[in-house]
Amino acid sequence: MSAKQIVAGQPTAGRPGGGLRLFQADWLAPVASILGGLLLWELFARFIIRNPLFLAAPSDVAVQIAELLGTGELQKHMAVSGAEFAIGLVLSIVIGIGMGFVLASSSIARKVAGPWIACLYATPTIAVAPLIILWFGIDIWSKVIVVVVNAVFPVIINTEAGLRATDRKLLETVECLGASKVQLFWNVMFPSAIPYILAGVRLAVGRAIVSVVVGELFGARAGLGFMLAQASEVFNMPRLFAAVVVLAFAGLVLTTLAQMLERALQPWNRV
Amino acid sequence: MSGLIIDQVSKRFGALEALRSISVDVAPGEFVSIVGPSGCGKTTLMRVIAGLEKPDSGSVSVNGKRVTGPGIDRGFVFQADSLLPWKTIWENAVLGLKLNGKLDAEATERTRKLLKLTGLTGFENFWPGQLSGGMRQRVNLARALALDPAVLLMDEPFSALDAQTREIMQAELLKIWEVGRKTVLFITHQIDEAIFLADKVVVLGRRPGRVKEVIPIEFDRPRELRLKRDPKFVELVDHIWSLIEGDVRDSVSEDAAASAA
């Protein structure tokens, strides 16, 4: 019996075109791609480069990750970086939505703050990370500030754009149903801005990860960026790659989470 | 005075005179259609009645109360898609009640009956995006009626539907209307739709928007769609067409000139 026949015999999840077959099609290719890439990397490192000072093989990196997990060192660094990321991102989202709302509702605020935000959004504010470390020290709060300074702008800009893009006809219709200003905001403007805000949050996630690592490179006591900097100073390639792999994996998990959040928050778009 | 009274309403937008002294009375339980070519100020008139636009002079009153802003004494059904995509059919239907803190057991029951009347039972938990245009417009109707308004105002509610669906919706609207006999003002650019539904058709002219003629429609109710093939019906359509034909031609050639320029 071929795989296809087995699948055809399975009850599907109930949705036309859904079920196990789609699951396979969605997951098989990415997983095969990753495994193939790892294999090529392994072969390249073992038989062509053949110098662990330049390139560590994935198997060496895996051993290193296992060791670091065994001693608990990796968990410690992940906890610190994770805390910086999470606090920074939450602050960015809260401040970003708040400021986006103020900008969307006041033309004076738009005129006063607009140019600043446009400039700062376009500037690679990551460049001021060393300065922020200098001002605020090497504990986690300096990194939280680096994260906010970088991640808040896409949220502000998208929130403002989303709120201002609300369909005027929908607003008037709901106004005719007797809605107050506050009710209009929560029933019409905010839900209609959600896709924009979530797109902003997704951009913020990427910026926040980079901010954590760069911030830690410039000064920290712990964290994945700190671990990376230490490893690179002593040419410990497996350790360096261990940090990079963990960061890549975190990026993958966070992107998936962001997509799940988008679906969960907009059930009406799932149909 | 009860019902809906539009009393000498005029409105200008700069050099454009949108409405010139429009007066229309809709008695309680009466169904009145307003028909006119594009540019006759139908939409402006509706916005004035809604309280979204202030008239330069004249007034609108509902059951003797002068309109000063949006209010739930008037129920609106606008052109397609004024449902909130992020609320289910049920949440959309009770939205007006909820916003006004009136969603008690009795209102819930009334809304349930309205959804049944509009053929939407079983679709309560669907999203608007899952429904056809005709069904969405029925939800709009149920939502407007759920608040039990004194007057129902419909602004070209079927204009976004295809011709066949539109015919069916007209017949269904009449069926629903027979149940409660609400006071209705129905705005359309379709002459046969205006006649088929109404007790009285108000014909508007354009530039400026003004009342050209008020025509009583005396066909018996309940009406069936085949009425549209009755010689007397066709005669009325011809008459109204002759009233607005010149205006329609002007509007078409103006559009052509505008797109050529």
Q: At B233, which CATH number?
A: 3.40.50.300
pLDDT greater at residue A2 or residue A117: A117
Could you tell me if A192 lies within 8 Å of chain B, comparing CB atoms?
yes
DSSP for B24-54, please give it: EEE-TT-EEEEE--TTSSHHHHHHHHHTSS-
> In angstroms, rounded to a whole number, what is the distance separating the alpha carbons of residues A232 and A236?
6
> In angstroms, rounded to a whole number, what is the distance separating the alpha carbons of residues A126 and B19?
59
Beta bridge partners of B57: B10
The whole-number average pLDDT for the span A21-32 is 73
pLDDT greater at residue B185 or residue A270: B185
> In angstroms, rounded to a whole number, what is the distance separating the alpha carbons of residues A64 and A102?
49
Beta bridge partners of B155: B187
Residue with tokens 């998208």: A158
DSSP A137: -
Interface A-B: count of C-beta contacts within 8 A: 59
ipTM comes to 0.81
**Residues in CB range of B167: below 8 A, 6 or more apart:** B225
Provide, rounded to the nearest whole percent, the portion of chain A with pLDDT above 90. 45
Q: How distant is the Cα of B255 from the closest Cα of chain A, in angstroms?
A: 24
Q: From the candidates B53, B76, B77, B84, which should be mutated to test the interface with A, based on the most A CB atoms within 10 A?
A: B84
Residues of chain B contacting residue A267, judged by C-beta atoms under 8 Å apart: 127
DSSP reduced 3-state for B224: coil
The pLDDT-based confidence of A8 (bands split at 50, 70, 90) is very low
Written as six digits, the tokens of A136 are: 């605020």
Provide, rounded to the nearest whole percent, the portion of chain A with pLDDT above 70. 90
Q: Does B17 map to a domain?
A: no
3-state helix, strand, coil in chain B (%, to 5): 40, 25, 35
pLDDT tens-digit series, residues A146-182: 999 999 999 999 999 999 999 988 998 898 888 888 9
Written as six digits, the tokens of B20 are: 């010139």
> In angstroms, rounded to a whole number, what is the distance separating the alpha carbons of residues A242 and A36?
19
Q: Does B52 map to a domain?
A: no
Classified by CATH at the fold level, domain A77-265 comes out as MetI-like fold (1.10.3720)
pLDDT tens-digit series, residues A34-84: 899 999 999 998 888 888 778 888 888 899 999 999 999 999 999 999 999
> Are residues B48 and B42 in contact, defined by beta-carbon separation less than 8 angstroms?
no
> In angstroms, rounded to a whole number, what is the distance separating the alpha carbons of residues A57 and A44?
8
Domain count, chain B: 1
Among the residue ranges A17-21, A95-99, B43-47, the one predicted with the least confidence is: A17-21
Tell me which residues of chain B have a pLDDT lower than 50. Answer: none
| pLDDT over threshold 60, residue A4 | no
Could you tell me if A264 lies within 8 Å of chain B, comparing CB atoms?
no
Nearest CB to A271: which of B71, B100, B130? B130
> In angstroms, rounded to a whole number, what is the distance separating the alpha carbons of residues B108 and A103?
39
The pLDDT-based confidence of A139 (bands split at 50, 70, 90) is confident
> In angstroms, rounded to a whole number, what is the distance separating the alpha carbons of residues A124 and A57?
33
Predicted local distance difference test score (pLDDT) of residue A128: 86
Predicted local distance difference test score (pLDDT) of residue B261: 62
Residue with tokens 């990321």: A85
Q: Does B108 map to a domain?
A: yes
pTM: 0.76
* B19 backbone φψ class: left, alpha, beta (φ>0; ψ -120 to 50): beta
> In angstroms, rounded to a whole number, what is the distance separating the alpha carbons of residues A18 and A38?
30
Is B71 in Cβ contact with A178 (below 8 Å)? Answer: yes
| pLDDT over threshold 90, residue A259 | no
Q: Which residue range forms the structural domain that includes residue B155?
A: 28-39+71-260
Predicted local distance difference test score (pLDDT) of residue A24: 61
Give the length of chain A. Answer: 271
Written as six digits, the tokens of A271 are: 């149909």
> In angstroms, rounded to a whole number, what is the distance separating the alpha carbons of residues A25 and A21?
6
**Residues in CB range of B44: below 8 A, 6 or more apart:** B11, B18, B19, B53, B209
Is B96 in Cβ contact with A178 (below 8 Å)? Answer: yes
> In angstroms, rounded to a whole number, what is the distance separating the alpha carbons of residues A138 and A127?
17
Written as six digits, the tokens of A107 are: 């033309």
> In angstroms, rounded to a whole number, what is the distance separating the alpha carbons of residues A71 and B230?
92
> Are residues A77 and A213 in contact, defined by beta-carbon separation less than 8 angstroms?
no
Is A169 in Cβ contact with B82 (below 8 Å)? Answer: yes
